[in-house]
Structure 1
Amino acid sequence: MTRSPVTTPPPGAEPPKAHPDAPPPGSALGVHYSRCFGCGTDHPTGLHISASTPDGVTVEAEFTVGEAHQGAPMLAHGGVLATAMDEIIGMSVWLFHKPYVTGRLETDFVRPVPVGTTLHLRAWCNGISGRKAYLEAEGRIGAPDGPVAVRAAALFIEVEMEHFARHGDAAAIAAEHHDYEVNP
């Protein structure tokens, strides 16, 4: 994937480091919001992505394309695949124990993904500079070493939790994130 200058770490960007409270290798990451279209268990047609971390800085997951996720007949919708990339990348920055939002997401669709296909997703951070995190992800068909179907590069921006209260639902944030005090 050829990344734009926006998603390429600048010289001097710091390599990511596992947070002291990061889950141990092999741990499931859980859901950041139960109604999230990407990972939420309570979203009826969501992707239901369940991820783990092999090392505290990389995230891996599987996503099976369902009938509700098709665009062309029996093929995954490109927007759904982009959402899967955004979700797995977002899960990787969550490992740093800081809230981030997507600033830019570049997605390359390498091959069609039929309904019923399991994509093996992987995301990693290439560097952090100030509030900006530079990340990549890929989705492979059938196995972790299968053919690449989709790739993404992203710029995520660190924000305060109040960002979500100001622009979303403060009560829902407080209910789901007991470790954060949200002052709208």
Structure 2
Amino acid sequence: MTRSTVTTPPPGADKPEAHLHAPPPGSKLGSHYSRCFGCGDDHPTGLHLDARTPDGVTVEAEFTVGEAHQGAPGLAHGGVLAAAMDEVIGMSIWLFRKPYVTGRLETDYLMPVPVGTTLHLRAWCNGISGRKAYLEAEGRLGAPDGPVAVRAAALFIEVRMEHFATHGDAQAIAAEHHDYEVNP
């Protein structure tokens, strides 16, 4: 994958290190919101990513392509695959315990992903510079060492938690993140 200069860390970018309060290696990562399309258990047609961190800075997850995720008959929709890449990348940046949003997502589709296939996802951060984080992910067919079907590179931008209350549902945020104070 040839990354654009937008998703390539600049010289001198900080190399990510596990946050003091990051989940310990081997930990499962829960949903950040129960109705999230990517990781929420309560989304009826969501991806329901089952994720964990092997080392506190990388995320690994599985996603099984279902009937609701197809584009062409019997094949995963490209937008759904991009959503899976965005979600696993977002989970990896959340390990650093700061809120980020997707600024840019570049996705390369290398081979079709049939319905019923389990896609093994892995995401990592290549560097952080100021409020910008530079990340990558890959999705492999059938096994963690299977052929790469989809790759992504992303630029995520750090925001304040107020961003989500201002542009989203403040009450839902408060219900899911009890440490977040909602201003009426």
Q: What TM-score bracket applies, with the shorter chain setting the length?
A: over 0.9
Counterpart in the other structure of 2:16: 16
Report the AA paired with residue 70 of structure 2: Q
Which secondary structure does the structure 1 equivalent of 2:6 belong to? helix
Equivalent residue letter for 1:115? V
Calculate the TM-score normalised by the size of structure 1.
Answer: 0.99
1:164 aligns with 2:164: yes
Q: Find runs of 4+ consecutive structure 1 residues off by over 3 angstroms.
A: none
Whether the aligned pair in 2 keeps the contact of 1:162 and 1:183 (CA below 8 Å) is: no
Deviation at 1:180, TM superposition (A): 2.0
Which deviations, in whole Å up to 9, do the C-alpha atoms of 1:114-157 show, x marking residues without a partner? 00000000000000000000000000001111000000000000
Counting only pairs closer than 5 Å after superposition, residues 60-139 of structure 1 correspond to structure 2 as: 60-139=60-139
Look up the SS of the partner of 1:25 in the other structure: coil
User: What are the Cα deviations for residues 59-78 of structure 1, in whole angstroms up to 9, with x where unaligned?
Assistant: 00000000000000000000
Query: Following the alignment from structure 1 to structure 2, what is the Cα–Cα distance between the partners of residues 50 and 132?
Result: 26
1:173 aligns with 2:173: yes
Instruction: Give, as a single letter, the amino acid of the residue that structure 2 aligns with 1:174.
Output: A
Give the drift of 1:183: 3.2
Deviation of 1:50 (Å): 1.6
Query: What CA distance in whole angstroms lies between the structure 1 residues aligned with 2:144 and 2:131?
Result: 31
**Using the alignment, how far apart are the partners of 2:21 and 2:134 within structure 1?**
21
Structure 1's unaligned 5+ residue stretches are none
Match of 2:152 in 1: 152
Structure 1 Cα separation of the partners of residues 182 and 128 of structure 2: 25
> Where does residue 36 of structure 1 map in the other structure?
36
In structure 2, stretches of 5+ residues that fail to align are: none
Which SS does the other structure have where 1:181 is aligned?
A: coil
Identity of aligned residues (%): 87
Aligned residues: CA RMSD:
0.7
**Matched pairs, number:** 184
**SS in structure 2 of the partner of residue 127 of structure 1:** strand
TM-score, length basis structure 2: 0.99
CA contact (8 A) 1:161 1:182 kept: no
Q: Deviations over 1:37-70 (max 9, x none)?
A: 0000000000000210000000000000000000
